[in-house]
Structures are given as structure tokens and as C-alpha cells.
């Protein structure tokens, strides 16, 4: 169960955040006592698309079907079940093989449209939601999707799913059939306003295939889902091939029109990015997203590229950049002391790394919602936001309240950063003795391990380690395989590690999973740093309770300031846009999604030739 801390404080401080408002599609905004079925629901405001829309604006309904694409993945996998914490799942099974009741639009902050459910009904108070299943919906084995499947999926994920599934779906008080093809979920009083949308994103699993006894033990058994693809070939840890069902039941839906165009999608797994790049250069891989600026600048001048067979393109991204960072595990000493965390953060040689490794093409990340309206960077706290932060205002430095989230880190050269870091570390109980930073009471040297799984992160960790060594700190870099890396992260068995938190324009309940106190000691969450902050809990409550976009943005910015002020991570870098390289035979729509490119909207111009490698 998700705990709602400081709810009363938020209610008193932000009455505007809790005012009544309707945020579903226009059909639900009527004054009728009985809610009417709708073609879509949104978190804030109305859905963008009209009831008679035929396709999303970022998809080309005339895109040809067919052809193939090979994509590289760095890492490994040992399971085809993406819904448990047991093992490392293969790439992109969710969305391609398994699908939810409603489809998320990539052109809006948070809006859902019919997929497995052909319509949705929801009252103004969002106390329940009812889905009517499309009579055409089928699993890949040909069996129809039934109300029983939907209810069984909810129970299975609630009892045996990932921790976030268990927390969300436990907020459903009851699930019952209201017709031959309709099912209603009623929510507990603790459920937030986002719960109807969370239920809309619930994957539907076949009850005749998956059961409670075996669900979290599934390995490489071929999965059965409702999506457009089936798994046709698997080499454990090395490759997985998805094949499109040409008679897929959802081909003609507005939310899927112009999407899922490739007949074959092959994911090849590599240990590191250099090997993956070499596979692309040799034509083994057809598409590649580049993350390293040095490789982007220098490594794409090869014969096929010079012949014009490779397209190199920077694609826009309107979403928050997310947070890539080294994470301090505050469950372990000495990282429970904010002064120690801040001091260690100042020692990361960010300017040098960007210049030496990335040719200054990266940007240093300052905000957990960098690059979007949700970021507090450069935006002084408003009166409304200060009211929300009032009980914890002493935890937020003045410069952060004024919108300067990374100024101290950016403004210091190596010498001044070292002096300030040593001052903070001394305040945290450590001092220099004979060139070694030791605990002032015990004389024990500060020593910890940085856990990584890729060569890129190992390179960053080694740069950090060298900088720490100059301050008398011993930081050992430990590189492990991806499966061990995931296991250790999921059980919080690390001192410092790397993680990337994806961020959207409509953050919601997953924020509890990322930063909520209740998630701090629950294995398998993404609260890797172990945050237990009443202020962070309250701002998450506020953003979940917001009824309009302005109040929502205010709450997210307050959360951003508290996260930055806690120095839980050492922020790294982000790309100013998506860098992609691909075979010239591929094409994509002219209008990109708000969240950046989506491969499901791309196509193979040679598809009509119906050839494969």
C-alpha cells in the first residue's frame, strides 16, 4: 500500500491544488449525473484528439508495412517476462508483444486512447473507471480477450508483479464485470487522481496461460500477448527477434494507424557500445541511437556513410531529459550525511569530463526535469510554490529557491571545488591526515565502491575515482555483468552506482516509486538512494492531487528543488537532442512526437520488395 504522508498539510497549504475539476475527454465534462463513455482520458484538461480522429499526428497512416530492422542493445537478458523483478527482461516486449487497455499518445503530456478497450467511462470524482473491451481484441494464440482476463491480470500483477504494480493495483478496492465486455475498477479512498489512467495502462495477460504459481518464475517461454508482434526467435542473452502478425486484430485502430510497420525487428545484444558501433558500421545492425558525443562527432565517417547509405540525424525532443547520475546509497555510511554527499558531488570533474570525453557537446544536467517547463532551473520559486515548500524551506538553499540549481557546481574550478568539498567533508566528520581523508574519530579512511555495468559508466567512474583520490578518498570501481548489476541494484547492495531516471511531461505515481519514503526499503523500487523525506513525500502528494496544469507544474518544480537540495546524486550529462544513425532505406514522419522519435512510426521504403537479409 502506498503511504500518503502529510496529506493534511498539503490540503491546508494548497487549497487550489485540491479544487474540483474534470480532466477527462469532453464527453465526461457534462453536467449529467451519469458519466458517458469516452474515446479518451487525460490527466489534466481535455484530450487533444476528437472522437472521430483516424491517426495520431506524428504517425503516417500511409506508411508501408514490411521490411526489417536490426537494433543494438548493450547488456544481456535472461527472461521474456517484463512484469517481475526476477531476471533481466528482453527489450521492448511491453508495447510490442504485451499491450495495455488504453494507448498512450506521444503527442500529449498524458492522454490515453482506445486500444484493447474500445471506450472508457469515468465519473468526475475519479472514484472508479469502466472499460469496454473491443470485441475484436485477441491474444497472439487466437483466444479472445475477456473480462475475466482483465480481472485476472489485475490480480496477478497486484500479487506477483513488480513493486510499482503491486503498490498501484492494491489501491483497487474491487473489480467486477458490468456486462459481457465491460469491467469496472473501483478505487480505495487512498487512490490518487491518476489511478484511472494507471489502470488504463495496465497490460492485459491471458488467464489461460499465466497463473499465480508460475508467473514470477517464467524464463524464456514464448510470451502470449495482445500486441502486434510475437517472439519468433531467441538466443539467450544474445538476440531476440520479433515478427509482426499481419492479421493483427488492432491494425485499423486510430491509436495504432501508421505504426508497427516492420515485419521483423531483431535486437542484437552487445557487451559494450564500441562493439555495437562496429556491428552498425559492418551493416549487421541497421539503426543506432548514439549517446556519446565523441563517437557522434568522429565515428560515423566510414565507407557506407560516405556512399550515402547511412543517414545521420539529430531529432528534437520536447520531453524532460531525465536524470543520469551516480547515486549515493544513503542507507550506508557515510552517505546518510548530506554534507558528505554535497562534498563528494563537488569533486566530480564535470567540466573536464565534458571537454575531454565529449568534446563539450553534452550539457550538464542540473534538474530532475531538465529541458522542460517542469524544471525549476532558472525559475525563481513563486509565492504559490513557497507556500508548498514552507514547512521545509530551511532544506532548500536560497540559490535553489532563486532557480540556480547547479551554480555552485558549475562556478567552481578544481581548486575552489576541492577546498569547498573538504570543508563540507570536515563538517561531516572527516579530515585530511597525511594525504588521506579519514574519519576524525576512528581514523579510518573514507573508502567505498562505485558499481557499474558498462564501459562508458566505468570510464566516468574512473574519472570520478581519480578526482576523489586527489582528496584522499579511496573509491574502487567495480564492473559487473548486467544481470549481476541489476540484482545488486534491486537489493540496494551497493555504495555508489549509476542510474538513469526517465522523466515525462506528466510525472505521477511513479514518483513515489522513485523517491517516496515507502519505497526506500522495498526491494525492486527505483528509490536507489533511499530517500526518506517528508517534504518530498508531500510535494509528490501535491502533484498527484493537482487538478489543473498550473498547480501541477508548481508542485513538480517544488519537488525538483527538494531533490536537488538533498544532494542524493552526482548529476551527469544529457544530449541536447536525439542523435540517431540509420540505413538510408528507412523513413519517418515529418512531424515528430512530443517525446522525441518513436521507431514504431518508422518504415522501410523497400518494404514492397518483400526481401529480408
pLDDT tens-digit map of 328-381: 999 999 999 999 999 999 999 999 999 999 989 999 999 999 989 999 999 999
Read off φ and ψ for residue 454, nearest 5 degrees: -125, 160
Give the residue from 344, 313, 381, 391 showing the smallest Cα distance to 556. Answer: 381
Nearest one of 138, 162, 5 to 82, comparing CA atoms: 162
CA distance linking residue 606 with residue 68, whole number of Å: 9
**486 pLDDT exceeds 60?**
yes
pLDDT band at 19 (very low <50, low <70, confident <90, very high): very low
Q: Between the CA of residue 51 and those of 118, 135, 199, 601, what are the distances in Å?
A: 12, 19, 21, 22
CA distance 98 to 82: 9
- Nine-digit cell string for 41: 482520458
Q: Say which residues have a Cβ less than 8 Å from residue 447's Cβ, sequence separation at least 6.
A: 473, 474, 475, 476
> C-alpha cell of 494?
551497493
Let me know: does 502 contact 513? Beta carbons within 8 Å. no
Half-sphere exposure of 297 (CA within 13 A, CB side): 10
Query: Among candidates 565, 491, 529, which has minimal Cα distance to 326?
Result: 529
pLDDT category, 450, cuts 50, 70, 90? very high
Contact 474, 446 (CB under 8 A): yes
Q: What cell was used for 63?
A: 506508411
Domains of the chain: 33-317+577-613 (3.40.190.10), 323-574 (3.10.105.10)
Angle between helices 455-470 and 273-281 (to 10 degrees): 140
Taking only the tens place, the pLDDT of each residue in 228-278 is 999 999 999 899 999 999 999 999 999 999 999 999 999 999 999 999 999
Mean of pLDDT over the chain: 90
Q: What is the DSSP letter of 260?
A: -
Neighbours of 332 (CB within 10 A): 15
The pLDDT of 560-582, averaged and rounded, is 96
Cα–Cα nearest to 103, from 265, 315, 250: 250
Q: What are phi and psi of 379, to 5 degrees?
A: -120, 105
Residue whose C-alpha cell is 526489417: 68
Q: Say which residues have a Cβ less than 8 Å from residue 65's Cβ, sequence separation at least 6.
A: 244, 246, 261, 263, 603, 607
Alpha-carbon gap, residue 92 to 508, rounded angstroms: 22
Are 560 and 323 in contact by the 8 Å Cβ rule? The answer is no
Spell out the residues 6+ positions from residue 470 whose beta carbon is closer than 8 angstroms to its own: 347, 418
Q: How far is CA 476 from CA 130, 442, 461, 483, in A?
A: 53, 21, 9, 20
Q: Which three cell numbers stand for residue 132?
A: 469496454
Q: What percent of the chain clears pLDDT 70, i.e. is strictly above it?
A: 92
Q: What is the pLDDT of residue 32?
A: 47
Report CA torsion sign: 328, 331, 334, 336.
positive
488-523 pLDDT per residue, tens: 999 999 999 999 999 989 898 899 999 999 999 999
End-to-end CA distance of the chain: 50
Amino acid at each position: 500500500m502506498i503511504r500518503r504522508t502529510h496529506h493534511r498539510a498539503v490540503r491546508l497549504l494548497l487549497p487550489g491544488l485540491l479544487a474540483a475539476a474534470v480532466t477527462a475527454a469532453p464527453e465526461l465534462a457534462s453536467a449529467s449525473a451519469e458519466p458517458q463513455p469516452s474515446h479518451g482520458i487525460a490527466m489534466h484538461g481535455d484530450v487533444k484528439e476528437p472522437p472521430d480522429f483516424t491517426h495520431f499526428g506524428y504517425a503516417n497512416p500511409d506508411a508501408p508495412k514490411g521490411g526489417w530492422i536490426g537494433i543494438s542493445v548493450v547488456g544481456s537478458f535472461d527472461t521474456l517476462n517484463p512484469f517481475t523483478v526476477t531476471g533481466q527482461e528482453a527489450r521492448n516486449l511491453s508495447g510490442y508483444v504485451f499491450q495495455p487497455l488504453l494507448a498512450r499518445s506521444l503527442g500529449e503530456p498524458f492522454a490515453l486512447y482506445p486500444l484493447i478497450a474500445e471506450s472508457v467511462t469515468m465519473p468526475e470524482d475519479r472514484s472508479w473507471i469502466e472499460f469496454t473491451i473491443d470485441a475484436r481484441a485477441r491474444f497472439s494464440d487466437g483466444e479472445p480477450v475477456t473480462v475475466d482476463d482483465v480481472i485476472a491480470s489485475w490480480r496477478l500483477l497486484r500479487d506477483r508483479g513488480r513493486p510499482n504494480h503491486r503498490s498501484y493495483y492494491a489501491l483497487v478496492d474491487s473489480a467486477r464485470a458490468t456486462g459481457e465486455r465491460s469491467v469496472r475498477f473501483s478505487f480505495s479512498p487512498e487512490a490518487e487522481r491518476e489511478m484511472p489512467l494507471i489502470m488504463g495502462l495496465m497490460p492485459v495477460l491471458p488467464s489461460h496461460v499465466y497463473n499465480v504459481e508460475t508467473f514470477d518464475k517464467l524464463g524464456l517461454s514464448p510470451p502470449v500477448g495482445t500486441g502486434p508482434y510475437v517472439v519468433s526467435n531467441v538466443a539467450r542473452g544474445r538476440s531476440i527477434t520479433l515478427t509482426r502478425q499481419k492479421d493483427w486484430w488492432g491494425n485499423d485502430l486510430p491509436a495504432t494507424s501508421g505504426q508497427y510497420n516492420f515485419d521483423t525487428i531483431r535486437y542484437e545484444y552487445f557487451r559494450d557500445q564500441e562493439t555495437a558501433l562496429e556491428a552498425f558500421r559492418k551493416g549487421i545492425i541497421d539503426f543506432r541511437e548514439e549517446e556519446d558525443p565523441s563517437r557522434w562527432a568522429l565515428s560515423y565517417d566510414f565507407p557506407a556513410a560516405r556512399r550515402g547509405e547511412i543517414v545521420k540525424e539529430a531529432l528534437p525532443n520536447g520531453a524532460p531529459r531525465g536524470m543520469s547520475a551516480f547515486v549515493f546509497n544513503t542507507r550506508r555510511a557515510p552517505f546518510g550525511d548530506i554534507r558528505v554527499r554535497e562534498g563528494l558531488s563537488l569533486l566530480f570533474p564535470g567540466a573536464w569530463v565534458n571537454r575531454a570525453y565529449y568534446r563539450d557537446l553534452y550539457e550538464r544536467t542540473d534538474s530532475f526535469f531538465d529541458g522542460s517547463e517542469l524544471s525549476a532551473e532558472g525559475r525563481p520559486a513563486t509565492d504559490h510554490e513557497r507556500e508548498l515548500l514552507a514547512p521545509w524551506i530551511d532544506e532548500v538553499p536560497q540559490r535553489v529557491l532563486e532557480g540556480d540549481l547547479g551554480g555552485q557546481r558549475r562556478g567552481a574550478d578544481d581548486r575552489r571545488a576541492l577546498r569547498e568539498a573538504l570543508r563540507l567533508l570536515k563538517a561531516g566528520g572527516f579530515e585530511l591526515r597525511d594525504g588521506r581523508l579519514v574519519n576524525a574519530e576512528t581514523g579510518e579512511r573514507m573508502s567505498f565502491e562505485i558499481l557499474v555495468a558498462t564501459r562508458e559508466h566505468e570510464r566516468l567512474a574512473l574519472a570520478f575515482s581519480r578526482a576523489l583520490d586527489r582528496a584522499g578518498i579511496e573509491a574502487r570501481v567495480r564492473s559487473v555483468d548486467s544481470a549481476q548489476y541489476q540484482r545488486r541494484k534491486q537489493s540496494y547492495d551497493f555504495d555508489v552506482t549509476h542510474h538513469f531516471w526517465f522523466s515525462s511531461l506528466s510525472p505521477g505515481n511513479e514518483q513515489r516509486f522513485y523517491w517516496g519514503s515507502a519505497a526506500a526499503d522495498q526491494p525492486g523500487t527505483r528509490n536507489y538512494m533511499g530517500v526518506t523525506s517528508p517534504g518530498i513525500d508531500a510535494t509528490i502528494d501535491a502533484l498527484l492531487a493537482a487538478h489543473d496544469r498550473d498547480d501541477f507544474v508548481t508542485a513538480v518544480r517544488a519537488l525538483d528543488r527538494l531533490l536537488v537540495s538533498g544532494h542524493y546524486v552526482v548529476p551527469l550529462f544529457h544530449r541536447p537532442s536525439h542523435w540517431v544513425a540509420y540505413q538510408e532505406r528507412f523513413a519517418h514522419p515529418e512531424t515528430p512526437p512530443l517525446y522525441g522519435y518513436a521507431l514504431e512510426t518508422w518504415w522501410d521504403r523497400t518494404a514492397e520488395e518483400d526481401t529480408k537479409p
